[in-house]
Amino acid sequence: MEKNVVTEEFRIKSIIVPLLAIIAGVFMVVLNSTSMNVALTTLLKDLNTDFPTIQWTVTGYMLAQASVIPLAGWLSDRFGAKVVFLSSITLFTIASVLCAIPNSAGWLIAFRVIQGLGGGCVIPVAMAYVYRLSPQHKVGTVMAMMGIPILFAPAIGPVLSGWMVEFYSWRWLFLINIPVGIISIIMGLKTLPKVERQTVTGIDLPGMILAPIAFAGLSYGVIEGANSWTSVNTIAGLVIGGIALVAFIIRELSIETPLLDLRVFRSIDFSIGIVVQWIGQFALFGAIFLLPQFLQQARGFGAFDTGMILLPQAIASMIVMPIAGYLFDRIGVRWLVVIGLGLVSGATYQYSQVDMTTTGKDLLVPLIMAGAGMGMMTMPMNTHLFNMAPRHLVSRVTSLTNSMQQVINSLSVATLVTILSARITFRTDEFKELAQSAPGSAPQTPEAMQQAIAGVAANSFGDTFGFMVIVAIIGAVLGLLLRREKTSS
């Protein structure tokens, strides 16, 4: 589709309705990606199973997503973005119905895998769809609108899911997808315009086999790494995924019609941009993951209360993201990323000061800072990467960036869990040594001992947040290397 046609036919007002169809679908998928964490304890009891088994309702979903994301760009080019997007939403909605039915963990895991297969294509296809349909001079603003559900859903997820699990049933986590999915499908059928298909001369069958093995294997390896980096499962996942990734890269660089066009890395600007995105994603997702764990495990807040405490972060993201899109169209990405990660660094530093006296009010300012930082940099960074690639490769770039983000998110969780566990062990040993050297100063009652252990956990969370500060600062400094450039044609 030519640039002038896009500009003439699709002004901001003219794409609001189709954009809402895309936003509804994206919100539903992202929300369901995070809401299950709150329900695991309830599922243990209702389905009469153990934690390693029920954890696969989360792990299976993530691996299914990781396996199909690399295929999203090729499918979009081959069959059209509208067909792929609506088909993915349909499969996700049907799987949601199935997920609400089972009374056994096995069937729920199986249906969650199907749900992940449907949801995996939604975000990369939606990003490429919106980018191609946006007027070029408004692409930052429109992409920011599409990015709102990507940040808002994980933040509001604990509130909504905690409320449903605590007062109703975990099955409503899936049932609420049905009306949202139907609305997205109906609106999409009526209002989503067709995007011109790209020429696909053949099927990269080896690439289609290697890519899911590579990204699912790596994701599985780092997920298992949260339990033990030396376990058979962790090593097997990393080795198999790593070998498949090397073979996949060699394959993609040696054929004319690759599944993921890795030649975009020849652009220095694109390569710098994606490294900054990886570091920023590590810091952002790490903060989103770690703070709720602190509130529930160290401070003892319930799921619903934790969600309410985190709500200012979601609101700040929603407010800032459209502003960031507007600014991106005028000043480019550099200072948005630097300021955004600077805010995240400042917020994470304040998180590193948490202890057993920390309350929700104490976290209000850093939560707003973190939300503003996320809204400031997330979608501008994605849009910048699209601008650094040839326009006809946008669908492949979204698949590439989303595939790696899935691995980075898993790596972030696994790394933080490893650091947290190490710090808890260190501080526990330190506490025991102190108690042995000064017996009179050690807690004398079970209540006092429990309080002391909780204090050790809180301080360990603070240490782990300190590591995240360093990561965010590194990302902010590297953001200074980003430069504005016109979209490739």
CATH code of 96's domain: 1.20.1250.20
For residues 134 and 249, state if they share a domain.
Answer: no
| Cβ pair 368, 313 in contact under 8 A | yes
Q: Give residue 143's pLDDT.
A: 72
23 against 91, higher pLDDT: 91
23-37 pLDDT, tens digit per residue, is: 888 888 888 777 776
Per-residue buried b or exposed e for 166-178, using 16+ beta carbons within 10 Å of the residue's own CB? eeeebbbbbebbe
Q: Give residue 35's pLDDT.
A: 75
164 against 392, higher pLDDT: 164
Q: Give residue 444's pLDDT.
A: 58
Q: Give residue 6's pLDDT.
A: 42
For residues 12 and 85, state if they share a domain.
Answer: yes
Number of domains in the chain: 3
| Residue percentage of the chain with pLDDT more than 70 | 84
For residues 240 and 119, state if they share a domain.
Answer: no
Torsion of CA 67, 72, 75, 80, to 10 degrees: 150
* Domain limit, last residue, from 256, 277, 300: 256
Q: Average pLDDT in the 388-400 region?
A: 67
Residue 202 binned pLDDT confidence (cut-offs 50, 70, 90): low
For residues 77 and 12, state if they share a domain.
Answer: yes
Residue 421 and residue 468: Cα distance in Å, rounded? Answer: 15
Where in the sequence is the domain holding 76, given as residue range(s)? 1-199
Residue 28 and residue 149: Cα distance in Å, rounded? Answer: 9
Cα 257 off chain centre by: 29
State both tokens at 304. 């619903």
For residues 442 and 470, state if they share a domain.
Answer: yes
For residues 45 and 166, state if they share a domain.
Answer: yes
What sign results for the dihedral spanned by CA atoms 232, 238, 241, 247? negative
The residue count of the chain comes to 489
For residues 74 and 13, state if they share a domain.
Answer: yes
Q: Give residue 7's pLDDT.
A: 42
Distances (CA, A) of 51 to 40, 48, 126, 351, 458: 8, 10, 34, 29, 24
For residues 367 and 383, state if they share a domain.
Answer: yes
> Which of 236-245, 433-442, 444-453 holds the top average pLDDT?
236-245
Per-chain mean pLDDT for the chain: 79
Q: Give residue 200's pLDDT.
A: 59
* Domain limit, last residue, from 223, 241, 256: 256
Q: Average pLDDT in the 262-276 region?
A: 81
For residues 284 and 378, state if they share a domain.
Answer: yes
**pLDDT at 79 > cutoff 60:** yes
Q: Give residue 297's pLDDT.
A: 75
| Residue percentage of the chain with pLDDT more than 90 | 11
* Domain limit, last residue, from 256, 289, 322: 256
For residues 321 and 469, state if they share a domain.
Answer: yes
For residues 326 and 238, state if they share a domain.
Answer: no
CB within 8 A of 33, min separation 6: which ones? 61, 62, 65, 119, 153, 154
CB within 8 A of 383, min separation 6: which ones? 131, 139, 140, 143, 325, 328, 333
**pLDDT at 4 > cutoff 50:** no
For residues 4 and 27, state if they share a domain.
Answer: yes
Residue 90 binned pLDDT confidence (cut-offs 50, 70, 90): very high
Per-residue buried b or exposed e for 78-111, using 16+ beta carbons within 10 Å of the residue's own CB? bebbbbbbbbbbbbbbbbbebbbebeebeebbbb
Q: Maximum distance among all alpha carbons in the chain?
A: 80
**pLDDT at 1 > cutoff 50:** no
Stated pTM of the model: 0.73
Q: Give residue 195's pLDDT.
A: 66
